[in-house]
Amino acid sequence: MLKNLFFRLSLQQKMIFARNLEVMIRSGMQLLQSLEILKNQTKSKTFKLIIDQLIADVKNGHFLSVALERHKSIFGEFFINLIRVGESSGTLSENLQYLAEELRKKDQLQKKVRGAMVYPAFILVATLGITAILTFFIFPKILPVLTSIKVELPLTTRIFMGISGFLFNYGLYAFAVLVLLVVGFLMLLRVERFRYRWHEFLLKIPAVQEMVKTVNIINFSRTLGLLLKSGIKIVEALEITSNSLTNLVYKREVSIIAESVKRGEPISQYLLQRQDLFSPIFTQMIIVGENTGKLDESILFVSNFYESELDEATKSLSNFLEPILLLIMGGVVAFVALAIITPIYTITQTIGR
């Protein structure tokens, strides 16, 4: 078996794979021929090897879904199960089309979330850049003049001199500690209990919590709706959905819902108890779907509704962070500027006398 523990396919790569395979199968092309063409098209050597294994398995009489099971860590349960249902029901091309569309929407969702982080990141980098220029290039040229004249320096200047001296002497050590802290945090995120607490914490931060809830409700409803639409039974669909979610809080909640449905309880019964995570609108749409027997349609409708809500959630996050970041940036730059300009003004006043 191929050693692919560190190889990952992006959502866009999986989307292109599913879409191209769907187009070729829909046009009447055989599965093996389609996979051969996809292998020749891909530029990734590792992905070529994976497709080679898929081709070998299909040639040996295995279903495509069985071949994909060998690479579950790359394709995921959601991808594999949609193909399995398509193969068993004779609707492989339709399911591949659903899959490609779903992966496209998930990719767009990720881009929206990343886009909301661009402005805060820009402000942070700009603040650090301006501070670094003033600290390492401008202040060192002025410092000899300030220390040569026997004038009592302002408090801001003395504090800044201390910070500047520390960074010059121990800057590399401080940077190494910062890197270690970041690496340590990322390593801790691999521990399930810590990651759960982190996800729990994100759901308590003002403004951020709304975006996190909206993103997870979209992922939950769209994945579950598509699985039900493809013909997968409700309990199995909930279990697959739970495994496909990245937020451990929602992952656990959906797993609990699956267990309650096994006992014969409706999904809405549990959702009504957790309105801190699932909004009343979402719960009401689930109730409508359960009462009408069109749960898949109701869930997909609510996922589309929350996609439009996500734009508002990202705007709210930007509106929340913008004044705080600008205040921090202005405060840092003002402090550094005062530390440099105030003693110069004091010196000129002294000389003028």
Asked if the structure places residue 248 within a domain, the reply is yes
Residue 339 phi/psi, 5-degree rounding, is -65, -30
Verify that 184 and 267 share a domain, yes or no: yes
For residues 52 and 172, membership in a common domain is answered with no
- pTM for the whole structure: 0.72
Report d(CA 203, CA 209) in Å as an integer. Answer: 4
269 located within any domain: yes
CB atoms near residue 276 (< 10 Å): 9
pLDDT of 142 higher than 60: yes
CB 80 within 8 A of CB 232: no
- Rounded to whole angstroms, the Cα distance separating 78 from 287 reads 24
* Residue 1 within any structural domain of the chain: no
pLDDT tens by residue, 171-203:
788 889 989 999 999 999 989 899 999 999 989
pLDDT, one tens digit per residue, over 195-240 is 999 999 989 887 778 888 888 898 888 888 888 887 888 998 899 8
CATH at residue 199: 1.20.81.30
**DSSP character at residue 136:** I
Whether residues 166 and 60 share a domain: the answer is no
- Domain boundary residue among 90, 120, 144? 90
Residue 2 pLDDT level (bands cut at 50, 70, 90): very low
Q: 312 and 244, same structural domain?
A: yes
95 belongs to a structural domain: no
Could you tell me the residue range of the domain that residue 228 belongs to? 104-353
- Residue 195: CB atoms within 10 A of its CB come to 16
Q: Are residues 79 and 151 in the same domain?
A: no
Mean pLDDT of 125-137: 77
Q: Is residue 6 included in any domain, yes or no? A: no
What is the share, in percent, of the chain residues with pLDDT greater than 70?
Answer: 91
- Return the DSSP state at 149: S
DSSP letter for each residue of 177-242: HHHHHHHHHHHHTTSHHHHHHHHHHHTTSTTHHHHHHHHHHHHHHHHHHHHHHTT--HHHHHHHHH
Q: Find tokens 């078996």 and name the residue.
A: 1
Residue 5: inside a domain, yes or no?
A: no
Q: How much of the chain is helix, strand and coil, in % rounded to 5?
A: 85, 0, 15
Q: What is the tens place of the pLDDT at every residue in 93-119?
A: 888 888 888 888 888 777 777 777 777
The model's confidence at residue 1, banded by pLDDT at 50, 70 and 90, is: very low
DSSP code for 60: T
**Mean pLDDT in the chain?**
82
| 27 & 153 share domain | no
Q: Are 28 and 161 found together in one domain?
A: no
Residue 99 lies in a domain: no
The DSSP letter of residue 152 is P
Contact 102, 218 (CB under 8 A): no
Domain termination residue (choose one: 59, 90, 121): 90
Co-location of 212 and 323 in the same domain: yes
Instruction: Quickly tell me which residue has 């029901």 as its tokens.
Output: 89
Total count of domains within the chain:
2
Are residues 348 and 218 part of one domain?
yes
Give one DSSP letter per residue of 293-339, joined into a string. T-HHHHHHHHHHHHHHHHHHHHHHHHHHHHHHHHHHHHHHHHHHHHH
> In angstroms, rounded to a whole number, what is the distance separating the alpha carbons of residues 254 and 71?
24
Burial of 175 (0-12, 13-18, 19+ CB in 10 A): exposed
Residue 250 located in a structural domain: yes
Tokens 């295995």 identify what position? 62
**Domain finish residue from 34, 68, 90:** 90
Cα 228 from Cα 226, distance rounded (Å): 5
Clarify whether residues 162 and 296 are in a common domain: yes
Residues 165 and 86 in one domain: no
Q: Are residues 153 and 44 in the same domain?
A: no
Collapsed DSSP state (helix, strand, coil) of residue 262: helix
Amino acid (1-letter code) at residue 276: D
Question: Is the predicted pLDDT of residue 336 greater than 90, yes or no?
Answer: no
